[in-house]
Structure 1
Amino acid sequence: MQPDVIIIGSGMGGATLAAVLAPTGRRILILERGDHLRPSPQDRDAQAIFGDGVFRPDEVWLDGKDQPFNPGNYYNVGGNSKFYGAVLIRYRAEDFGVVHHAGGATPGWPISYDELEPEYQAAEQVYAVRGALGDDPTEPHHSGTYPHTPVPDEDDIADLRARLKQVGLTPSHLPLGVDIDRWLAAGQTTWDAYPDTCGGKMDAETCGLSTALAHDNVQIRTGCRATALIADPNGQVTGVTCDVDGGTETLTAPIIVLAAGAVQTAALLLVSANDTCPTGLANRSDQVGRNFMNHNCSAVLALHPFRRNRAVYQKTLMVNDYYLDGDGDGPLGNIQLLGKITGPILAANARLPRWLAHQIAARSFDFYAMSEDLPNPDSRVTLKNGKIKFDWQRSNWVGHELLVKKLTAKLKQAGFPIVMSRPFDRRTPSHQCGTARMGTDPAASVVDTFCRSHDHKNLFIVDASVLPTSAAVNPALTIAALAHRAGRHIAQTEFAA
């Protein structure tokens, strides 16, 4: 099949775009460097996943000091969404404007929440989001309702919700893409960071990709790693060079779409430099690879030594009381439950004796505190000696520490005398974004408001790299909404005839 569109990457952006374009009848080829995840005994084995890292790719990047590390990104059909926590939450309306944090101000977006709202609504339908309106004080306007009712609280989480309310917080339902019955039928575990091989998570493969592949004009090639883009002197991207089965192949299409993730998309553009574009494709602005953001995150465990937490999946509530204003300290971020931590998970991550990890995990209620990381041109992805160099300049940490401090105090008031916290380290991919930022000025941004490259009119980017800001919520639904918007734009402007 000679494609009309090549999409590089099958994660939330690539899969959603393919689903939108599929009904046009145009021939769409999706390239995925990995393979399908298939059921295995390790799927629900916490030691295998968190201790042994059996699903982590054998890949080495360099950090800001040129030290090698394994980054923890995944390469498979569906991308990182196969392992995600399935939180499908909208950015708050305020996130699209300038937000003043303890660590500085965000630049705002070139589009408003209202412009993206219809795409959010559409993406929630594609990914069958389970949620409820009316219980979150920061919830932006919705033009419709969620497709499904929320995933129910387990008994101990219902008690936790009541305790949080008693100390003045406003716990709300966490919007989730999970078929809870199907997920639990395949194993009694949470889904957060576990691979989805049963279709219980509403991930990029289960929803977006399956919708696209139901059309005969859409195909996916696995084990096909894009290594460079080819562009002519006139700025037309004419092809994609790929490693396939130990050889090299060049594929061509009138429209090329990058959806490889914030780091890999930037690396592909940089490695594709030529005489006309000596600093990389789509990079006349010198912004490719810059403004990398990765949420400031901490795990916060609350426990009472004489009270057990019997929850299996746990992850059903969030608290946004400090999102827009932390009691006069400015916006601090989002708090949500982690998937239930178990002994093997805690032992692997905290390096505790197994017996102690089991005792703590049996009693802990596990929270995820998340604060915004601000764009910084010196926080960037570059290439060095053929390797990706990942120099994350963390920002706004003071605000994050305030969020953890306030959460800790409230949890103690709620009846948990022991509260422990631990930040996620630099190697953890906590919602990477920002390396090909969206904007209206070609001198200061990489793509326009429809995710089209300013420099190459037949090149689009529809992954997290285009996000101008990270906000302080999970980005999956926003990526899907932007890809949905880009897909409609392509259909209307490129395929109208």
Structure 2
Amino acid sequence: MRRERHPLLRGGRGGERKYSHTFTRGEIQLLGSVCETILPPLPLNSLEGEEDQPTKAVESFIKASGSQTPVPDQVAEILAKRDVKEIALLVRVVLWLLGTRLGTLLLCGSLCFCEKWPFIHNFSRISLEKREKVLQKWSTNRFLTPIRCAFVFIKVLCLFVFFSTVDENAVNPAWEAIGYHVDNDEDPSEVPKKRPLEKGMVETMHETDSTLVHSLAQKGIKATLDPRDNLFKIECDVVVVGSGCGGGVAAAVLACSGHKVIVLEKGNYFTAADYSSLEGPSWEQLYEAGGIFPSADGGTYILAGSTVGGGSAVNWSASIKTPAEVCRDWAEDCKIPLFGNPEYRSAMDAVCLRIGVTENCVEESFQNQVLRKGCENLGLKVDYVPRNSSEDHYCGSCCYGCTKGNKKGTDSTWLVDAVDHGAVILTGCKAERFILKENKSGSKRAKKCLGVVAKTMTKNITKILQIEAKVTISACGALLTPPLMISSGLKNHNIGRNLHLHPVAMAWGYFPGSNTELKGKSYEGGIITSVHKVVEADSNVRAIIETPALGPASFSVLCPWESGLDIKKRMVKYARTAHLITIIKDSGSGNVRVEGRVNYRLDASDRGNLRAGLKQALRILVAAGAVEVGTHRSDGQRLKCKGISEKEVEVFLDTVSAVEGPLSLVENWTPLTSAHQMGSCRMGIDDKEGAVDVNGESWEAKGLFVCDASLLPSAVGVNPMITIQSTAYCLAKKIAESIQKVPF
């Protein structure tokens, strides 16, 4: 029996869909021609020579096309909805050129020639075979920079839409062919139905201008309408912007200390009964930019949570304490006493206790079995990864919200503590700027923060919200805290700089279903339960190797595109293709000063460490018994393993590189990913070293604090959840002690 889902996370699309994009039908037709070339209909004998005889589902998939409804329209919709004007404009210019003979000649060369007048076809009339050759040239030619970028964005969106779109029964027609299904068969009686934050929740999507004040009053919050300025004035002791690892902890500590706390969250509130495990709607509702967030140069794809609980609601459960050497570096080199104090170690213990961290795993997933077996066969050390879930938690869809309610994010722990002590959470609210006034108290800080101005994401509330507070805490993450501070008029040169991403490069290995020793499918089971550290002779860690969560759409997006046939072959092998991720503690950094625009580059040591991690990951995959291994480099770099010698493996490994973007400048580039963003408003001993002081307070504005990953002095080198929560815990304790001295 399939339980009912929250409407926002349901995949069904009954009836005809209406689109808000402004692409013309001619542009949609040309977009469809490109999508058809990326994922073309193929002859039924295309997969001859593969391991198994094609089933009816595989045959249907072979015949399917990227141009089929609703793919082109949804690609256009995403381009318009994401509001990345440069990308949408670039795609439309390319489509306009392809709609003319002259433009097609410029972009396609002699491949558009025909035998009859006027001897030149526009793109949609070129044969499918020749169109594929055109796209292959675009994908590898670094001198056609804008065209290559347009191709990559269309390819990403086309494949994402094709493999994530579902019908009214929440099924995608291609899933059976690739061995994928969504587990909707949980016993409804075992799924938590409660909404533990209900008593402190005000969901603006259900409010109007006429109801909001009353709803806030029912929660104990004083709110009044200021008709002169057309805004609602709302009063509290502390306002926290963001509800993730930092904001959730800060809200709990301060509410439990007796202060009236309001938490602003841009996203919406979901619980276990709401989650669907459907990749498309889950990305759309739970992630920043709908999960499609590239860096400015297109070389790195960024994942960040955007829902109540933030990243803790959608992360992969890894709960690793801050490494001792990182604490030492931050305490000694960065001169931040907190990280050298017993107080911080006690905070990590308190955090792990509150979010239910366990050390072992009863049953490991297919990908983690691969990592463990490969390491053991090579004599390499592999450790279990602590998780904020039970030891028997076997869930591969926690990245879409945990449908079993087993994972303990801030939405089911710290925020529960906060609302139990009177905190109120306003969802669908986006902070616009901090309220900064001249500070006349004689403090070194020129300004004083009196709260935050926010707007709701619903059209039902037309008035601005002005939340006035003794203390304001920015906890909206390393991607959003800097733009918010800059848009408020703060000038410290560290704001938005020193952004670290823990860049990730992936290696893959294919394990046929006949390999019965390694059980399961790539998307099943605990996402991260094992880790291997890649160390140098001096024991310095160069990288760590873990396993990722990759649904069919994510898998297809990251796969190199060599041809329509190749991408379909890769997808048919999806369920038994294991991925290992190489994560490094990056020395290089980027910046984020404007919301939605991240600039990022690796330095030489980062590239070397990624390369070392990728080579080790490939060795592990070969040792685990993969019949084929490869990377995500754009040229489709791979190696057949059957009967191969160790020397031949090493020769292949010498060709492995982690050539990062920008994709426009590199011939064979490797797409990087990031799920950890840190350091963009780092702590420092003075305003030259950091954007905030060692207590998290802005150097420029008294009463304005940062409690999220942006204040970390550098990259952590491991999954940062425990580090973020422990830092926020310590800082919030200090804020709670000092707030009594601050007059309202």
Bin the TM-score by the shorter chain.
0.7 to 0.9
Structure with a larger share of its residues in helix: 2
Higher relative contact order (CA closer than 8 Å, sequence separation 6+): 1
Q: CA–CA distance in 1 between the matches of 2:317 and 2:241?
A: 22
The aligned runs of 1:315-326 (5 Å cut-off) are: 315-322=527-534, 325-326=535-536
Match of residue 31, structure 1, among 256, 261, 264? 264
Structure-1 residue corresponding to 2:510? 303
Q: Secondary structure at the match of 1:338?
A: coil
Cα deviation for residue 265 of structure 1 reads 0.5
Structure-2 residue corresponding to 1:276? none
Structure-2 residue corresponding to 1:231? 436
Cα deviation for residue 334 of structure 1 reads 1.2
Identify which range, 6-15 or 394-403, moves more after superposition: 394-403
- In the alignment, structure 1 residue 371 sits paired with structure 2 residue 584: yes
- Percent identity between matched residues is 22
Match of residue 312, structure 2, among 49, 56, 81? 81
Structure-2 residue corresponding to 1:260? 476
- In the alignment, structure 1 residue 124 sits paired with structure 2 residue 352: yes
Q: Is the 8 A contact 1:109 1:468 kept in 2?
A: no
Q: CA–CA distance in 1 between the matches of 2:328 and 2:428?
A: 41
The aligned runs of 1:15-164 (5 Å cut-off) are: 15-37=248-270, 43-46=276-279, 49=282, 53=284, 55-56=286-287, 63-64=295-296, 72-98=303-329, 108=334, 110-111=336-337, 112-115=339-342, 116-131=344-359, 149-150=360-361, 152-153=363-364, 157=368, 161-164=372-375
Structure-1 residue corresponding to 2:81? none
Cα distance, 1:45–1:199 mapped onto 2, change above 3 Å: same
Structure-2 residue corresponding to 1:292? 499
The aligned runs of 1:264-413 (5 Å cut-off) are: 264-273=480-489, 280=490, 283-284=491-492, 286-305=493-512, 306-307=514-515, 309-311=519-521, 312-322=524-534, 325-327=535-537, 330-339=540-549, 341=550, 343=552, 345-350=554-559, 356-374=569-587, 376=589, 379-383=590-594, 388-395=596-603, 396-413=606-623
Q: Is the 8 A contact 1:10 1:78 kept in 2?
A: yes
Cα deviation for residue 416 of structure 1 reads 2.9
Q: Secondary structure at the match of 2:506?
A: strand
Letter in 2 for 1:411: L
Q: CA–CA distance in 2 between the matches of 1:227 and 1:43?
A: 31
Q: CA–CA distance in 1 between the matches of 2:575 and 2:434?
A: 50
Cα distance, 1:246–1:178 mapped onto 2, change above 3 Å: farther
Q: Secondary structure at the match of 1:366?
A: strand
Cα deviation for residue 163 of structure 1 reads 4.4
Letter in 2 for 1:250: Q
Q: CA–CA distance in 2 between the matches of 1:467 and 1:175?
A: 22
Cα deviation for residue 289 of structure 1 reads 0.5
Letter in 2 for 1:251: I
Cα deviations by residue, 1:138-165 (Å, 9 ceiling, x for unpaired): xxxxxxxxxxx54542588557534422
Cα distance, 1:408–1:327 mapped onto 2, change above 3 Å: farther
Q: CA–CA distance in 1 between the matches of 2:366 and 2:506?
A: 22
Cα distance, 1:15–1:156 mapped onto 2, change above 3 Å: closer
Cα deviations by residue, 1:186-212 (Å, 9 ceiling, x for unpaired): xxx503522235522211211211121
Cα deviation for residue 480 of structure 1 reads 0.3
Q: CA–CA distance in 1 between the matches of 2:299 and 2:671?
A: 12
Tell me the number of residue pairs that the alignment of Structure 1 and Structure 2 aligns: 448
Cα deviations by residue, 1:102-129 (Å, 9 ceiling, x for unpaired): xxxx965624355421111111012111
| Structure 2: runs of 5+ lacking an equivalent | 1-220, 222-234, 440-446, 633-657, 661-669
Q: Secondary structure at the match of 1:251?
A: strand
Letter in 2 for 1:304: F
Cα distance, 1:167–1:91 mapped onto 2, change above 3 Å: same
Q: Is the 8 A contact 1:290 1:380 kept in 2?
A: yes
Structure-2 residue corresponding to 1:103? none
Structure-2 residue corresponding to 1:250? 466
Cα deviations by residue, 1:185-244 (Å, 9 ceiling, x for unpaired): xxxx503522235522211211211121122x2111112211000111112101211113
Q: Secondary structure at the match of 2:593?
A: strand
Cα deviation for residue 345 of structure 1 reads 4.4
Cα distance, 1:416–1:448 mapped onto 2, change above 3 Å: same
Q: Secondary structure at the match of 1:193?
A: helix
Cα deviation for residue 449 of structure 1 reads 2.4
Structure-1 residue corresponding to 2:63? none
- In the alignment, structure 1 residue 175 sits paired with structure 2 residue 408: no
Q: CA–CA distance in 1 between the matches of 2:257 and 2:539?
A: 50
Letter in 1 for 2:450: T
Cα distance, 1:371–1:160 mapped onto 2, change above 3 Å: closer
Cα distance, 1:320–1:428 mapped onto 2, change above 3 Å: closer
Higher alpha-carbon Rg = 2
Q: Is the 8 A contact 1:130 1:177 kept in 2?
A: yes
Cα deviation for residue 130 of structure 1 reads 1.4
Letter in 2 for 1:464: A
| Structure 1: runs of 5+ lacking an equivalent | 100-105, 132-148, 274-279
Letter in 2 for 1:4: D
